[in-house]
Homo-oligomer: A and B are copies of this chain.
């Protein structure tokens, strides 16, 4: 089997896993079910991913890569602070509230008491990989003089808090459908406005 084909096969298996994860949750997703859905054999699953946790971990890592790629593709250089924040916020919110991320987070939480490793991987490849990137964005815009922050880390957390609110929690509980592009854009816009009110550089101060 060529490497390329093998990669595609691997993707198909991870797709099947994510699908079942979304549909039935982690504990009700059986290895046999994944194998069937991907037209693979259990033996292959165990050969490639060791066990159920390994399969899950691979899915987490792949999802994280996708997220990072999409975020870094956003046009946030050479635009106003407002536009940069809205662009980044919209993209982040879209990913954070998407079916895949929600299913993965839900699963990691459900296993958190028994298997801390999965949550750790999720944090490292997710939030901990994204936050520095966002901090950097804020610093840059501070240097160009549009905003003024004493504590960049706090400012970042505040923007993210204003942006997400409890949407992620409600999505995790499945009491909120996936928001439309329009809803997300609006949300990012409102959060940005509030953030700028907090941190915009006013001219009547030293």
Residues on A lying within 8 angstroms of B by beta carbon are: 22-28, 103, 105-114, 116, 119-120, 122-123, 127, 154, 157-158, 160-166, 168-170, 172-175, 190, 194, 197-198
Contacts and interface: CB of A to CB of B under 8 A. Distances in A.
A164 B162 CA distance: 10
Contact of A114 (B28, B122, B164, B190): B28
A119 B170 CA distance: 9
A131 to B, nearest CB: 10
Number of this chain's copies in the complex: 2
A170 B126 CA distance: 12
Contact of A162 (B106, B108, B116, B162): B162
A24 B163 CA distance: 32
Given A109-B172, A154-B190, A172-B172, 17 more contacts: A23-B113, A25-B113, A27-B27, A105-B169, A105-B173, A106-B112, A107-B110, A119-B174, A122-B173, A127-B166, A160-B166, A164-B166, A166-B168, A168-B169, A197-B197, A197-B198, A198-B198
Contacts of A107: 110
Chain A binding surface SS class? helix
Contacts of A127: 166
A158 B162 contact: yes
15 contacts: A22-B113, A107-B110, A109-B110, A120-B175, A122-B173, A123-B173, A123-B175, A127-B166, A154-B190, A157-B166, A158-B165, A161-B162, A161-B163, A194-B198, A197-B198
